Chains A and B, each alone.
Chain A
Amino acid sequence: MSQPIPPEDRQILNAGYILNDLSAEEAALLASLPPDPAADQEIAELQRALEASYLSEEVQPSPQLREAIMMAARSAAVSQEPPHAVADTPPPLRLVSPPLPRWVRMSGAIAASAIVALSASNYWLWRSLQTQQAQLAQPTVTVALQPTDALSSPAQVVVDLQPTQLRGTLRIENLPPLEPGKVYVLWTLLDPDAPFTTDDKNAILTHVFSGTGQAEGTQDLTLPSAFQQPGVVRAIAITIEDASAPQRHAAAPILIQQL
């Protein structure tokens, strides 16, 4: 421990300590000095003088605003400020003089988050509206299948097509009851040159349904994507196939409609 130094020198060291600009030698000297309550008091007064002169007084928000900010802050992911970089010159000069009160910066972050969230929400609503309008603009195509000579009963089968959504509805009336082990199969018949995988009859198995009695009612359909390409789908047909292998497409159509 070194000997006391002149009061003026000690004062300069104390100021350098508060300003955090002591050189290594000065810091070592200050650390080696004997305890001095008067010097400790002076250091505290220097700190208060600096804060009083250059630290902006914080303005507290109203209780309502404070509560709103705290609630938003708890739910928002406000990123932490990066730590101060180590520099040759002391950074505490900035540490004791924040440019804005903390609550103002936090309010800014919350406002920015709210703006981003509202913008995303508006965009999502706009896209939903555009999609719904586009869907409404697409009319449903109704196709009534015509019976062939293979069908003796006065059956009526109507398919409502919504190509943009690849959805459809099958409406059935008076289809004859099936023999055991048989099913009805709805086929989508394509152009031979269509770039889709089909069976040897250029058909895509679209829907399988059965009826133990008189087959009637409405069934929802999922259409193959070929419906979204103009001029590719040639016809829709219904056959009666073996339930164990309806994909064989062995039978002739009982109902068909060219498109």
Chain B
Amino acid sequence: MDTSTDALADTAQRQKQSQQVEAALSALSDNQRQVLHLAYQEGMTQAAIANQLGMPLGTVKAWARRGLIKLRQTLQTLSEE
């Protein structure tokens, strides 16, 4: 396989992974997606997220943890298809 073929295969693989991530994120509840987004896209701490959403810190933790577990399960399922 030459370099250009490798590059094409690599691009296709990345595109597939991107689609899987998009699908996995879509499978999250709104709360889970929002908490993870604020933490990892906006760089907020969970305490700050709890303050912004007006929710207890324990609830934010639970949403984040269950959201991460859901992400992992969905990505695993999609990769096995």
Enumerate chain A interface residues (CB-CB to B < 8 A).
11-12, 15-16, 18-19, 21, 42, 45-46, 48-50, 52-54, 57, 87-91, 93-94, 96-97, 99
Contact A94 B14 (CB under 8 A): no
- A53, A87, A90, A99: most-surrounded residue (chain B CB, <10 A): A53
Q: Return 7 A-B CB contacts under 8 Å, by A number.
A: A12-B69, A15-B66, A21-B64, A46-B72, A48-B72, A49-B68, A89-B48
CA distance A226 to B3 in the complex (A): 78
Q: What's the minimum C-beta distance from B66 to chain A, rounded to whole angstroms?
A: 7
Measuring CB to CB, which residues of chain B are less than 8 angstroms from any residue of chain A?
14, 17, 20-21, 24-25, 36, 39-41, 43-48, 61, 64-66, 68-69, 71-72, 75-76
Determine the distance from Cα of A45 to Cα of B45 in the docked complex, in whole angstroms: 23
Are A53 and B25 in touch, CB under 8 angstroms? yes
Return chain B residues, CB-CB under 8 Å to A19: 39, 61, 64-65, 68
Distance, CA A6 to CA B72, complexed state (A): 19
Residues of B within 8 A of A89 (CB): 45-48
Q: A16-B65, A93-B40 are in contact. Are A53 and B71 (CB under 8 A)?
A: yes
Please name all residues of chain A whose beta carbon is closer than 8 Å to the beta carbon of B14 when the two chains form the complex: 57
- Shortest CB–CB separation between residue B70 and chain A, in angstroms? 9
Chain A residues, CB < 8 A from B61: 16, 19, 21
Establish whether residues A45 and B46, one from each chain, have CB atoms under 8 Å apart when the complex forms: no
Which chain A residues border B43 with CB–CB below 8 Å?
Answer: 93-94, 97, 99
Q: Please measure, in the bound complex, the distance between the C-alpha atom of A115 and the C-alpha atom of B47, giving whole angstroms.
A: 40
Q: Which of B21, B47, B76 contacts A53 (CB 8 A)?
A: B21
Residues of A within 8 A of B71 (CB): 49-50, 53
Shortest Cβ gap from A89 to chain B (Å): 4
Interface of A (DSSP majority class):
helix
Complexed CA–CA distance, A87 and B43 (Å): 14
* Complex Cα spacing A18 to B64, Å: 11
Q: How far, in angstroms, from A145 to B45 measured CA to CA in the complex?
A: 86
Inter-chain CA distance A54–B40, complex, in Å, is 6
Instruction: Check B75 against A52 for contact (C-beta < 8 Å).
Output: yes
CB neighbours (8 Å) of A93 from chain B are 39-40, 43-46
- Find chain B residues with CB under 8 A from A16 CB: 61, 65
Pairwise interchain contact A52-B21, C-beta atoms closer than 8 A: yes
Across the interface, name the chain A residue whose C-beta is closest to B42. A97
A90–B48 CA distance with the chains assembled, in angstroms: 11
* Complex Cα gap A21–B66 (Å): 13
- Are A53 and B45 within 8 A (Cβ)? no
> What residues of chain B lie closer than 8 Å to A90, measured between beta carbons?
45-46
Which 6 A-B pairs rank lowest in CB-CB distance, beginning with the nearest? A54-B40, A15-B65, A49-B72, A89-B45, A89-B47, A97-B40
